[in-house]
């Protein structure tokens, strides 16, 4: 009698909202789910806690924790509206408390995953915080995600993106997850601030290149001014290929049903300008998979969020996106 087929190991690489949407959908399937999350955030609540407690920024991890939880823990994403805690989320403070207790960030997250009944694991890409550095072609340096993300010069003037410390080691748990992966999903998310930092860690980059897992990239719904203006799904993966070598993605999933003009005009903000273009040659290429994966319910801005005006309110539909991923897995 043959053994029952074991669950597939799916690893999602990214950070923040985009990765949390993928996790929220995939946790409903019978898979072993892990997420490798960037540790370079240095803005808003995460940046303050990172500096004060010399810890990995908790914000991206928090969003993914809420996504994986077995019950509705969305209140962990709520921000204090006033007083000395204004702008901080309850989840960020909770992660900070558990880190103080354990003195080990990975252990702190593991305990919170148990408490929330999470269906999967969360793995910071490094066990120490890193700083993202962008060197521009004119020699200027932009240091920190909080300065790189709002910059409008990355698309035209970026010379090199790097991490400090330059010799930072990967979280061993991240390498183990990649080595055991059957499927690796990259994106969606901010290309230069959430996706690429993971591949700037040499151990992670090398492990992904070596991996025999099926690799899938999720294209963003919109471009980001000054970063990905005019990008097609092919342009996104070409930027990644410059860092890890070409041809690693078997499939690229893109949204094939544009958001209606009525919804777009109602919720657009200063960073939402254009939909990611999908030219005819991409629609004919079997590597690129078009699916209706955009959510029809934009995320409302929070009055207590200090960077609400530079957040993308348009998200992927977690259920539809997970279905598309599983069909290719």
Domain residue ranges in the chain = 8-128+171-328
pLDDT for residue 2: 41
Chain centroid to CA 97: 24
* 226-130-13 Cα angle (round to 5): 70
User: Do 17 and 315 meet the contact criterion of CB atoms below 8 Å apart?
Assistant: yes
pLDDT digits (tens, 9 = 90+) for 247-295: 999 999 999 988 887 777 776 766 677 889 999 999 999 999 999 999 9
pLDDT less than 50: residues of the chain: 1-4
User: Do 231 and 246 meet the contact criterion of CB atoms below 8 Å apart?
Assistant: no
Q: Which CATH number fits domain 8-128+171-328: 3.40.50.10680, 3.40.47.10, 3.40.50.2030, 2.60.40.10?
A: 3.40.50.10680
H or E stretch at 122: strand 121-124
pLDDT for residue 301: 61
Report the C-alpha gap between 274 and 235 in whole angstroms.
Answer: 15
Report the C-alpha gap between 234 and 231 in whole angstroms.
Answer: 8
What distances in angstroms separate CA 113 from CA 17, 122, 305, one per listed residue? 18, 8, 25
Report the C-alpha gap between 282 and 217 in whole angstroms.
Answer: 14
H or E stretch at 12: strand 8-14
How many CA atoms within 13 Å lie on the side-chain side of 51?
7
pLDDT for residue 81: 87
Main-chain dihedrals φ then ψ at residue 144, nearest 5 degrees = 95, 145
Report the C-alpha gap between 239 and 235 in whole angstroms.
Answer: 6
Look up the pTM and report it: 0.94
Q: Which residues pair with 12 in a beta bridge?
A: 35, 185
pLDDT for residue 256: 96
User: Do 269 and 309 meet the contact criterion of CB atoms below 8 Å apart?
Assistant: yes
Length of the chain: 329
Report the C-alpha gap between 276 and 246 in whole angstroms.
Answer: 21
pLDDT for residue 309: 58
Chain centroid to CA 68: 14
pLDDT for residue 215: 98
């Amino acid at each position: 009698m043959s053994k029952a087929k074991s669950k597939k190991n799916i690893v999602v690489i990214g950070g923040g909202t985009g990765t949390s949407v993928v996790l929220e959908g995939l946790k409903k399937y019978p898979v072993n789910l892990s997420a490798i999350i960037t540790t370079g955030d240095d803005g808003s609540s995460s940046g303050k806690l990172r500096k004060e407690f010399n810890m990995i920024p908790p914000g991206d991890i928090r969003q993914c924790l809420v996504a994986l939880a077995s019950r509705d823990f969305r209140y962990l994403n709520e921000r204090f509206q006033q007083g000395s805690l204004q702008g901080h989320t309850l989840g960020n403070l909770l992660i900070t408390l558990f880190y103080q207790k354990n003195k080990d960030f990975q252990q702190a997250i593991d305990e919170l995953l148990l408490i929330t009944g999470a269906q999967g694991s969360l793995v910071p890409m490094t066990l120490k915080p890193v700083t993202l550095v962008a060197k521009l072609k004119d020699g200027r340096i932009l240091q920190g995600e909080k300065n790189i993300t709002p910059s409008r010069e990355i698309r035209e003037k970026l010379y090199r993106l790097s991490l400090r410390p330059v010799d930072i080691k990967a979280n061993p748990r991240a390498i183990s997850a990649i080595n055991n992966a059957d499927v690796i999903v990259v994106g969606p998310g901010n290309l230069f601030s959430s996706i690429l930092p993971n591949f700037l860690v040499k151990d992670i980059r090398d492990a992904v290149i070596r991996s025999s897992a099926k690799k899938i990239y999720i294209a963003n719904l919109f471009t980001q001014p000054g970063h990905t203006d005019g990008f097609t799904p092919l342009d996104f993966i070409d930027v990644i290929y410059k860092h890890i070598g070409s041809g690693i993605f078997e499939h690229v999933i893109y949204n094939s049903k544009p958001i209606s003009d009525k919804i777009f005009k109602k919720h657009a903000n200063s960073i939402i300008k254009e939909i990611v273009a999908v030219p005819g040659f991409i629609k004919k290429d079997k590597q690129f998979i078009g699916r209706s994966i955009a959510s029809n319910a934009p995320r409302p801005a929070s009055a207590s969020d200090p960077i609400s005006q530079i957040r993308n309110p348009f998200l992927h539909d977690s259920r539809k996106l997970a279905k598309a991923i599983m069909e290719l897995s």
